[in-house]
Amino acid sequence: MKIDIVSVFPEYFDVLNLSLFGKAQAKGLVEVHAHNLRDWTHDVHHSVDDTPVGGGAGMVMKPEVWAECLDELLGLDSSTSESTTEVDDVSTDSTAAPVLIFPNPSAPLFTQRDATELSHADHLLFGCGRYEGYDARIPEYYRAQGVDVREYSIGDYVLNGGEVAVSVMLEAITRLLPGFMGNADSIVEESYTGANALLEHRQYTKPAQWRGISVPDVLLSGDHGKVDRFRRDEALARTNEIRPDLIERLDCASLDKADRKT
Ligand SMILES: Nc1ccc2ncsc2c1
């Protein structure tokens, strides 16, 4: 997977050269390029923003600068305003145009389902907004050029820019790539995956008694059927208590009889 990230703080992504991501790059699983949006400016101040049309506080990122950058990275010839690459759904062929992703606090929430879908893409291009955000015509223009443009929020809180959001989405997406995680099993039984996303049951390790607190006896029983049932019941109960919104999304057809009693 090729990953391009555009930001006014590209050094923010130096961290991707470390740990699992660094190993994945060394193994050729991912190829990451962080670009400085200011490299596509032409004025002495390398301006990337301007005041909002219609007034209001803050500054908005200029469409011209973004367009020069994105045309180049997308391989679009702006003089003909035609795509020079085949535009496809999330494609895994090596010549497909990238999926262009803008983190945006006013966009739909990024979910595990989005991470799974995007993990099959061949090329992702992230555009990090700053200030009050980017000119709304940028995603509009590239959608009109046939580019697969996505805008996602990572949650209901205020951040100073899209860089943190890109880091979150990148981790959620790339950890699903075959060979990225040392142990493939670790991406199977986790919360938020599949149509039956439940919060996970509580986890314990040794010792069985610690500072007067014991692990649930059933976990020491050696009866895998009882352990599985206990964990499923706890996952349902915890989800119902902490994230009832996830219960509403459950695929009820997949609940077994015992689940229905919980
Ligand atoms: N700039 C930016 C982008 C995405 C996002 N998601 C939640 S707060 C936020 C802020």
State in Å, rounded, how far the first CA of the chain is from the last one.
Answer: 42
- Cα R_g (the chain), whole angstroms: 22
Q: Are residues 139 and 72 in the same domain?
A: yes
| 100 contacts 148 by C-beta, under 8 angstroms | yes
Residue nearest to atom 9 of ligand 1 (CA): 105
Please give the Cα distance from 10 to 126 (Å, whole number). 12
Give which of 147, 146, 68 is closest to 102, Cα–Cα.
147
Cα 52 to middle of ligand 1, angstroms: 19
Burial 195-233 (b: 16+ CB within 10 A, else e): eebbbebeeeeeeeeeeeeebeeebeeeeeeebebbbbe
Task: Tell me, yes or no, whether 193 lies in a domain.
Answer: no
Helices 63-74 and 137-144 pack at an angle, to 10 degrees, of 30
The CATH number covering residue 157 comes to: 3.40.1280.10
| pTM as predicted | 0.87
Burial class (CB in 10 A: 0-12, 13-18, 19+), 41: middle
Residue nearest to atom 2 of ligand 1 (CA): 162
- The predicted-structure confidence for 141-167, as pLDDT tens digits, reads as follows 999 999 999 999 999 999 999 999 999
Q: What is the DSSP string of 219-257?
A: GGS--HHHHHHHHHHHHHHHHHHH-HHHHHT--GGG--H
What's the structural domain count of the chain?
2
Q: Are residues 119 and 39 in the same domain?
A: yes
Task: Tell me, yes or no, whether 213 lies in a domain.
Answer: yes
- Nearest atom in ligand 1 to the alpha carbon of residue 160 is 1
The CATH number covering residue 204 comes to: 1.10.1270.20
What are the E-state strand segments in 70-224? 76-77, 82-83, 99-103, 123-127, 149-152, 209-210, 213-214
- Among all chains, which residue has been given the structure tokens 């959608």? 143
Boundaries of domain holding 208: 198-261
Q: Are residues 166 and 203 in the same domain?
A: no
Task: Tell me, yes or no, whether 203 lies in a domain.
Answer: yes
Q: Are residues 9 and 137 in the same domain?
A: yes
Q: Give the residues of the chain that fall short of pLDDT 70.
A: 80-96, 184-196, 251-256, 260-262
| 134 contacts 102 by C-beta, under 8 angstroms | yes
| 198 contacts 236 by C-beta, under 8 angstroms | yes
Q: Are residues 221 and 245 in the same domain?
A: yes
- Residue 77 confidence (pLDDT): 81
Q: Are residues 240 and 128 in the same domain?
A: no
Cα 98 to middle of ligand 1, angstroms: 21
Task: Please work out whether the CB of residue 104 comes within 6 Å of at least one atom of ligand 1.
Answer: yes
ipTM of the complex in this document: 0.91
Task: Tell me, yes or no, whether 124 lies in a domain.
Answer: yes
Please give the Cα distance from 179 to 258 (Å, whole number). 36
| 2 contacts 35 by C-beta, under 8 angstroms | no
- Residue 83 confidence (pLDDT): 47
Final residue of a structural domain among 154, 187, 220: 187
Q: Are residues 176 and 207 in the same domain?
A: no
List the helix and strand counts (H, then E) for the chain.
8, 11
Q: Are residues 123 and 28 in the same domain?
A: yes
- Nearest atom in ligand 1 to the alpha carbon of residue 165 is 4
